[in-house]
Amino acid sequence: MDIIKEIFNGNFMPHGHCLLWRGDLLFLHVGGDLLTFTAYTLIPIALVKLVKSRDDFRFNWLFLMFAGFIFFCGATHLVGLINIWNGYYYIEGIVKFLTGIISMVTAVMLWHLLPEAISFPSRRNMQQKITELQQAEKQLAESNLRLEAEVKKRTAQLEKIATTDELTGLYNRREIMRILDIEISRVFRQQTPLSIMMLDLDHFKAINDQYGHQTGDVTLQNAAASISQGIRKTDSIGRIGGEEFLIIMPDTTIESAYDHADRIRQTLAMQKAKDTAEQGCTASIGVAQFLQDDSLKSFIQRADETLYRAKAEGRNRVCRSLSE
Identify the residue with better confidence: 288 or 2: 288
Q: How many angstroms separate the most distant Cα atoms in the chain?
A: 143
What pLDDT score was predicted for residue 260?
A: 96
Does residue 74 carry a pLDDT above 60?
Answer: yes
**Residue of 137, 166, 175, 243 marked active site:** 243
Q: For 78-126, write each residue's pLDDT tens digit.
A: 888 888 888 888 888 888 888 888 888 888 887 887 777 677 677 888 8
pLDDT band at 275 (very low <50, low <70, confident <90, very high): very low
Number of Cα atoms under 13 Å in the Cβ half of residue 218: 10
DSSP 3-state of 288: strand
Q: Which range, 101-105, 136-140, 296-300, is most confident? A: 296-300
Number of Cα atoms under 13 Å in the Cβ half of residue 67: 16
Does residue 277 carry a pLDDT above 60?
Answer: no
Instruction: With residue 13 as reference, give the H or E element that holds it.
Output: none
Q: For 142-151, write each residue's pLDDT tens digit.
A: 999 999 999 8
Spatial CB neighbours of 180, under 8 Å, sequence gap ≥ 6: 196, 246, 248, 296, 299, 300
How much is the average pLDDT of 181-186? 96
pTM beyond 0.75: no
For residues 186 and 248, what is the distance between their CA atoms, to the nearest angstrom? 13
243 is catalytic: yes
pLDDT band at 58 (very low <50, low <70, confident <90, very high): low
Query: How many residues can be counted in the chain?
Result: 324
DSSP 3-state of 65: helix
Does residue 262 carry a pLDDT above 50?
Answer: yes
Does residue 274 carry a pLDDT above 90?
Answer: no
